[in-house]
Amino acid sequence: MSVDTKRQNGQLDVGTGLIGVGTLVAIVGAFLPWLTAGGWLGDASIASGLGMISDAALPIYSPILTVGLAVLAVVLSVGVPDNDLARMGEIAAGVVIALVAVIFVVSPETVFGGGIEGAFRDAVSDPGIGIIATLAAGIVIAVGGALNMSG
């Protein structure tokens, strides 16, 4: 039994479904904590992705960008069904979302323009569940775009 990745009679395919799920995860991830502070009393969330919009050094590190790209991928998938350029746009949107999340996890001081230093940086550099969800969303969206292209 194989999974059909092509659209038939107006039904959505697997790739479009993955893009839709990834978009929902990106939206939810924007409301969840993107950074946590570790301490001897346990972890505490610092701020949700939306709560840190004004703190980021560049707009590229904003959940507005990640959610916007996710929504764009849905629009391309549903609105432009038979176009390879649109499929590449879906893949690119997913990759950029994942890259933003990876930069945020690997180098939070870059996100804040070098504004956090030393022990404070080490204390708040633990990724929160929101940024992990955003990373997963980007990967799922890119895979959905790739499935749409191959279908």
Summarize pLDDT for 63-85 with one digit per residue, the tens.
888 999 999 999 999 999 889 99
Whether 20 is in a domain gets the answer: no
- Note the pLDDT tens digit of each residue in 106-131: 776 666 555 555 444 555 557 788 88
User: Whole-angstrom Cα distance, residue 88 to residue 145?
Assistant: 7
Residue 13 lies in a domain: no
What are phi and psi for residue 38, nearest 5 degrees? Answer: -90, 145
16 neighbors 77 (Cβ within 8 angstroms): yes
Q: Is residue 24 part of a domain?
A: no
Structure confidence at residue 17 as a pLDDT band (50, 70, 90): very high
Number of domains in the chain: 1
Which residues, 6+ apart, have CB-to-CB distance to 45 below 8 Å?
Answer: 33, 35, 36, 37, 128
**Cα–Cα distance for residue pair 21/148, rounded to 1 Å:** 14
Mean pLDDT across the chain? 77
List the Cα angle 53/115/103 in 5-degree steps.
60
67 lies in which domain range? 29-37+47-149
| pTM across the whole model | 0.78
> What local confidence, expressed as pLDDT, does residue 13 receive?
86
CB neighbour class for 108 (10 Å; exposed up to 12, middle 13-18, buried from 19): buried
Between 41 and 89, whose confidence is greater? 89
Instruction: With respect to residue 42, please indicate whether it lies within any of the assigned structural domains.
Output: no
